Structure 1
Amino acid sequence: MISIIVPVFNSEKSIVKLCHQITEIMINLQQAYEIILVDDGSQDCSYLWMKKLSCNHSNIISIQLARNYGQQNALLCGLRNSKGDYVVTIDDDLQYTPKDISKLFEKMNEGYDVVYGVPKEKVNSTLRNFGSNFKEVMFRCFLKKPKDITITSFRILRKSVVEKITLDKNSFVYLSAMTFRCTQNVANVSVKHKPRLHGKSNYSYFKLIHLMLYTIIYYSNCPLLKPLKKHKPQYIIKEIIK
C-alpha cells in the first residue's frame, strides 16, 4: 500500500481537484492506497470539503488539528496515522503534480529509502528560492546531508524510515532533519513544478530565520544548545474521519 499525506491549510479551491488527481494516478499504478489529509488550522472551508471527500471515499482519511501547528507538524501527524509500505508527501497547492508520484515510486524501487522530487525549473519567488539554497548549505553543515541531494516537500519514504521518524519527540518538527538522522540512502528524481493557481505563499524572512535557528538548536549535536530546547506537544488532534 502507498499512503499519500497532504498537509492542508486554506486550500478549499484545490483540495478536491488534488484528491481526484491522486486517485487517478494511483488507479493507473494499480496500487492499493490511502490519502491522508491533515487540516492545519484552516480558516476557510477546507475541512468541510475534506469531510465530504472522506464520507464519499473510503480510502480518504481526514484529520483536523486543534489549531495551526505548522506544515511539518501536520506531516508528522499524517505519518503516524499512515499504514502504507511507502509514504508520499505532497503539498496542497497543485504546484507538484500527482502524476509524478509514479517517478518517485519507480526510483524508490532501485533500492533507496527516500526519494525527493526535484523540479527542473522551480516556479517560486526570489525569497523562497534563496531560502531553499540557504537550507541546502545549512543541512550539509549541520545534518550531514549528501551534497548532491536536494530537499523538497515532494517525497516518498520507505516504511522502515517512517517508523523511525515517528519516534522523534522534539517539539520542533522538521521532517527532512529527522530523515537524515535515519538514513543517508537518499536519491533525487526530476519532476514538474507549476505556478501556484490559488492563494499565496506565507513564506517570509522571519520564518526562514526561525526555521534555520530552530533546526540547528533541535537537530544539531551541540550539547550547549540542549538547554534552549522547549517541551510542548507536537500537535493535538481534534477530529479524525475515516
Structure 2
Amino acid sequence: MKATIIVPVFNEAESLPELAHRLREVLSSQNYDYEVIFINDGSCDKSREVLNNLTKEDPKVKIISFTRNFGQTSALAAGIEHASGEVIVPIDSDLENHPEDIPKMIAKLNEGYDIVAGWRINRWQNQTFTRRIPSDVASRLISFISGIRLHDHGSTLKVYRVSVLKGIRLYGDMHRFIAAYLSWHGAKIFEMPIGYTPRKFGKSNYGVNRVFKVILDLIALKFLTRYFHRPMHFFGGAGLVSIFIGCIAAMASIYYKFSTVHQKDFISTPLPMIMALFIIVGVLFILMGLLAEILVRTYHESQKKRTYEIKEKINF
C-alpha cells in the first residue's frame, strides 16, 4: 500500500520545515510506502524557496506550484489528480493537525471504511468567541443540510480510499463537503478524535463570512446532487410554493377588502409590496445562482478544463 499526503500551502513558510520533518519521522516508520505532495497555492512569502529545499532533502517530497492563488479546493484537486497512492490524506500546513495521527487513521480505514474523518476534540480550548462561533455554526449547518452527522466537518485531516475519489470533480469551496458528498454516494465514513494545536505562525483567514459561504456552497452542492438530472422537480416545487404564497396573499387582500370587521384597503400600505419584492428578488437570485452553478460545471466537464493552472512541478 502507498499513502499520498496532500498539503495545500498558502504563505506558511515558517511552519513547513517542522511539518515536513514530523511527516518524515512518522511515515518512514510505517510498513507502507508514501509520498508527500505540497501544493504551493500562489504563496507570496518564502514558501516556494522552503519547499524547493525540502525536495533536495527528501525525494519523497513533491511540489506543485500554481500560477496564482486558486484556493484550497483547487489545491486538493491538483493533489488528488497527481497522487499515486491508494490512500489519500489531506492535512493542513499550519501545524494545527498532527501528523502523528495519520497512522492510526489509516489503520482504522483498513477496518473496512472508505473515509476516516478527524475530529479536533480539544479545538475550542482557549479560543476566542469570534473564531469559535462561526466555525461551530458552519459545522452544524453542514450536518443539518447534508444529513451527515459529524462533529467536525471543517477538519482538513481525513483519510480517503482513492477509489471513492475517482471521478469526483471539485469546484468552488467544495473541499468542506467532500466527506458529505461521498457519503451521499454510499461511502462508509468513520469519525475519530485527533490532536489539535493552535497555529504558531500567522493567523487564520476564517471569520463570520465563512458561515454565509458555507450556506450558499452547501445549497448549491445539495441541489446539484439531488436535482441535477431532474431540475423541474426543484424549480417546479419552488414555483408551486411561490404560487401558493401568492394565492394566500390574494385571499388576504380579498378578506381585508370586503370584511365588515377589518375593512381597509390592503394595498394602501407599502408593506405588502416591499415583502413581495424582496421575496421575489431573493428567490430569483438563488435560482440564478443555481443555474450559474450548472453552467460552470457543464463548461468544465465539456472542456475537461481544470480549475487551476500549474506553474511548475518538482520530483514528479
Same fold (TM over 0.5): yes
The equivalent residue for 2:314 is: 241
The equivalent residue for 2:267 is: none
> Where do residues 56-67 of structure 1 align in structure 2 (5 Å cutoff)?
56-67=57-68
- 1:149 CA drift (Å): 5.2
Percent identity for Structure 1 against Structure 2: 29
CA distance in 2, matches of 1:60, 1:148: 32
Which stretch shifts more, 41-50 or 208-217?
Answer: 208-217
Which stretch shifts more, 149-158 or 215-224?
Answer: 215-224
CA distance in 1, matches of 2:137, 2:113: 25
SS in 2 for 1:54: helix
SS in 1 for 2:147: coil
> Where do residues 9-28 of structure 1 align in structure 2 (5 Å cutoff)?
9-28=10-29
Match for residue 126 of structure 1 among 109, 125, 129:
129
Contact residue 5 and residue 89 of structure 2 kept, 8 A: yes
SS in 2 for 1:129: helix
- 1:89 CA drift (Å): 0.9
Q: TM-score, normalised by structure 2?
A: 0.70
> Where do residues 90-169 of structure 1 align in structure 2 (5 Å cutoff)?
90-123=91-124, 124-145=127-148, 147-148=149-150, 150-151=152-153, 152-165=155-168, 168=169
CA distance in 2, matches of 1:102, 1:45: 30
The equivalent residue for 2:195 is: 192
1:145-177 Cα distance to aligned partner (Å, 9 max, x none): 1x2553211110011112133xx2x53141342
Aligned-residue CA RMSD in angstroms?
2.0
The residue type equivalent to 2:212 in the other structure is: I
Does residue 30 of structure 1 match 2:103?
no
Q: TM-score, normalised by structure 1?
A: 0.89
The equivalent residue for 1:180 is: 180
The equivalent residue for 1:207 is: 210
Which stretch shifts more, 26-35 or 207-216?
Answer: 207-216
The residue type equivalent to 2:208 in the other structure is: Y
- CA distance 1:104–1:176, shift in 2 (3 Å): same
The residue type equivalent to 1:94 in the other structure is: L
The equivalent residue for 2:282 is: none
1:26-54 Cα distance to aligned partner (Å, 9 max, x none): 01223210000001111100011111212
Contact residue 142 and residue 214 of structure 2 kept, 8 A: no
- 1:17 CA drift (Å): 1.0
CA distance in 1, matches of 2:104, 2:147: 26
CA distance in 2, matches of 1:45, 1:80: 26
CA distance in 1, matches of 2:67, 2:145: 32
- CA distance 1:210–1:176, shift in 2 (3 Å): closer
Contact residue 134 and residue 207 of structure 2 kept, 8 A: no
The equivalent residue for 1:228 is: 292
The equivalent residue for 1:72 is: 73
Does residue 89 of structure 1 match 2:162?
no
Which stretch shifts more, 69-78 or 175-184?
Answer: 175-184
1:181-200 Cα distance to aligned partner (Å, 9 max, x none): 33341111111101211111
The residue type equivalent to 2:19 in the other structure is: L
The residue type equivalent to 1:46 in the other structure is: S
The residue type equivalent to 1:104 in the other structure is: M
CA distance in 2, matches of 1:197, 1:148: 27
1:50-104 Cα distance to aligned partner (Å, 9 max, x none): 1121233211110111111111221121111111111111101111111111121
SS in 1 for 2:167: helix
- 1:12 CA drift (Å): 0.8
SS in 2 for 1:68: coil
Q: Which has the higher contact order (CA 8 A, sep 6+)?
A: 1
Contact residue 64 and residue 238 of structure 1 kept, 8 A: yes
